[in-house]
């Protein structure tokens, strides 16, 4: 399950950061393979830790708070390709993201900050938490997202309206008049 979550986070970030030319990869198995960031930067994604809390005893049900760490490595801070912009894009891109089918809550950031300055590269860290539910004897509660997932930059539209119908003419929907309509449209890339 953790590998599937990490893969989903990586795919989400690929979509968000595709215009930035940032290298995106999982933390390597061996620290010696970490390497230095390129001029456009690098983001590493990995599972950090979990804490657990019993929520029910029969059947044993637990809440797992899984933390995922992102290491951001860039050459500058304040430019349009700098650390601050990258931190913002990642934070807003993962806020509320549900990386598995079956998860009832989205991810949210729990910490973020500067970690190091080495040979002209700035290193920052972001930690995101994903609440999960574990139930005794149930192993298929979660499933990976469909291939391709969803585009985080799709236009979102919410419409609501109040319709007026003369009393006694309820079956005749086509005679209804729209009294008031509220329409919200959001495009995160605009």
Contact (Cβ atoms closer than 8 angstroms) between residue 131 and residue 85: no
| Domain extents in the chain | 2-144, 156-186
- Could you tell me which of 130, 128, 135, 160 has the C-alpha nearest to residue 59? 135
Q: Show the low-confidence residues of the chain (pLDDT under 50).
A: 152, 189-190
Q: Which CATH number fits domain 2-144: 1.10.10.10, 3.40.1010.10, 3.30.465.10, 3.30.2000.10?
A: 3.30.2000.10
Q: What is the CB neighbour count within 10 angstroms for residue 74?
A: 26
Instruction: State residue 153 phi and psi, 5-degree precision.
Output: -105, 15
In this prediction, residue 28 carries a pLDDT of 78
Q: Is the peptide bond before 59 cis (omega within 30 degrees of 0)?
A: yes
CB atoms within 10 A of CB 25: 12
The CA-based angle 53-56-58, given to 5 degrees, is 135
Asked if 10 contacts 26 with a C-beta cutoff of 8 angstroms, the reply is yes
Kindly report the number of other CB atoms within 10 A of residue 100's CB atom.
16
- Contacts of 15-24 with CB under 8 Å at 24 or more apart are 15/149, 15/151, 15/152, 15/153, 16/89, 16/90, 16/93, 16/152, 16/153, 17/43, 17/86, 17/89, 17/90, 20/81, 20/86, 20/89, 22/86
Q: How far apart are CA 184 and CA 186, in angstroms?
A: 7
């Amino acid at each position: 399950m953790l590998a599937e979550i990490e893969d989903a986070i990586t795919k989400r970030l690929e979509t968000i950061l595709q215009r930035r030319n940032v290298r995106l990869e999982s933390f390597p198995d061996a620290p010696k393979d970490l390497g230095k960031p390129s001029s456009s930067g690098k983001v590493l994604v990995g599972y950090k830790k979990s804490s657990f809390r019993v929520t029910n005893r029969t059947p044993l049900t637990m809440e797992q708070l899984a933390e995922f760490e992102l290491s951001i490595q860039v050459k500058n801070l304040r430019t349009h390709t700098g650390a601050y912009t990258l931190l913002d894009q990642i934070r807003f891109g993962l806020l509320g993201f549900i990386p598995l089918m079956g998860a009832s809550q989205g991810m949210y950031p729990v910490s973020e900050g500067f970690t190091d300055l080495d040979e002209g590269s700035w290193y920052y860290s972001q930690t995101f938490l994903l609440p999960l539910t574990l139930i005794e004897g149930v192993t298929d509660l979660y499933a990976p997202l469909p291939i391709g997932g969803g585009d985080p930059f799709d236009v979102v539209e919410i419409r609501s309206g109040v319709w007026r119908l003369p009393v006694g003419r309820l079956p005749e929907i086509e005679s209804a008049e729209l009294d008031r309509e509220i329409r919200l449209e959001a495009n995160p890339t605009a």
